[in-house]
Structure formats: C-alpha cells, structure tokens
A and B are shown apart, each in its own frame.
Chain A
Amino acid sequence: DVKVTQSSRYLVKRTGEKVFLECVQDMDHENMFWYRQDPGLGLRLIYFSYDVKMKEKGDIPEGYSVSREKKERFSLILESASTNQTSMYLCASISRGDRDYEQYFGPGTRLTVT
C-alpha cells in the first residue's frame, strides 16, 4: 500500500525559530512536492524535486528551503518562522510516467507560529 508519512501532525513554534518538516515516501517515487493549504486559497506549491539533490521553486518559495539527500525523503525548512507561515503543510509524491498524475499525499502537518 502506498504510503507518505510526515514527521508531525501538529507543531507549534515561536517566531524566529528554524523549523524542519520531514516527509518520507516508500513508493520509490522520483517526484516529491511541498504544498501549503490555506482556507480559500487551496493548495499552493512551495518547492518540488524531480530527483535526489534536485529542487525547483514553486509558486511561493520565499521563506522556505528544501533538502533532498535521499530519494525517499524530502525536507522543508523554515529558516526563520513567521506568523504568516501558520498553515497546513502537505507533502506529496508521484511516480515518473504516471499517466493519471496521481499525487499521493501525506497526512499533513498543521503548523502554528506564535
């Protein structure tokens, strides 16, 4: 069974802290994505990665960075957390060649920055 896991379901951090969100998939997928989801705005792409050590900016990369040292793991880093980064963060992966473009999502991390 396909599985994407995220390190935390809920996280509370203080402004200025460095925050690490981890995502692991066990499907040997090449492509991995980080989104944030906010009411009324839908899912917005922060960063994505087509392969190990490869990363590209999405629509809203400011204030974030990523790391993909291993195929199964894609980490999102908030260098200095701010209150406007309070959101639901979703990780997803997809296999290269998947005609159905079925992205498999993790359960999400609800991050609150105070």
Chain B
Amino acid sequence: RKEVEQDPGPFNVPEGATVAFNCTYSNSASQSFFWYRQDCRKEPKLLMSVYSSGNEDGRFTAQLNRASQYISLLIRDSKLSDSATYLCVVPLSPNDYKLSFGAGTTVTVRA
C-alpha cells in the first residue's frame, strides 16, 4: 500500500463552485500533514499545513480525520487561478524531513 494516496481527478468545476477532494495516508502515527500546490510546468509550493483537526486560509480549508486516516482539501468560490495539481504530503516519520508525496489531484476551474 502506498504511504499517501490521492484521487487523481481531474476535477473540472465552474468558477465560483466549491470543490473538495481527499487524501488517505497509511501511517497512523503521522502527526503533521501538508498540501502543496503545483502549477502546470512549475515546481511544487507549500499551500497549507495541518497539525490538528484542520486549518483554514481564506477560501481553502483542510480537515484531518485521524480515525479514518484521511485529509481533505476544500476550495470555496473557485477562481481560474486555482487550476493546479494539489499534492498531499506526509512526513515519513515525526521530525523527519523526508516527505512522502501523493501523486496529486488535478483541479481545473473553467470560466
């Protein structure tokens, strides 16, 4: 089983819509979780960190469900500029700088 698994999508949504997708992780001891964003032909960049039950940053909300071992990312009021691949990332072990990356979920927002 992969350490981090994501629905690859693509999720095609109209501007203004809400889109949400999940990521499952295999290590029940994981304490921290991250969403990175990768634009087409660009490098990944940190979008959000999730340490407890969740985190909210503007239109983006990340939620953690430890019992079911998944993290979700919800984007409200989608903008064209939200079109990207969203990578779910989990450290291999606490205090380890080595990260395990999901393969990514592609979101396309259309006008």
Contacts and interface: CB of A to CB of B under 8 A. Distances in A.
Contact of A101 (B4, B42, B45, B91): B91
Contacts of B62: none
Contacts of A75: none
Interface majority SS (helix, strand, loop, mixed), chain B: strand
Interface string A20-38: 0000000000010101000
Q: Which of B4, B45, B97, B103 has the most CB atoms of chain A within a 10 A radius of its CB? A: B97
Interface string A70-87: 000000000000000000
B32 A107 contact: no
Q: 9 nearest interchain CB pairs?
A: A105-B43, A42-B103, A43-B101, A102-B46, A42-B101, A31-B97, A100-B49, A94-B97, A105-B44
Interface of A: 31, 33, 35, 40-45, 48, 50, 58, 90, 94, 96, 98, 100-103, 105-108
23 contacts: A31-B97, A40-B8, A41-B103, A42-B4, A43-B44, A43-B87, A44-B101, A45-B99, A48-B97, A50-B97, A58-B98, A94-B97, A96-B97, A98-B97, A100-B49, A101-B49, A101-B97, A102-B46, A103-B44, A103-B97, A106-B43, A107-B42, A108-B43
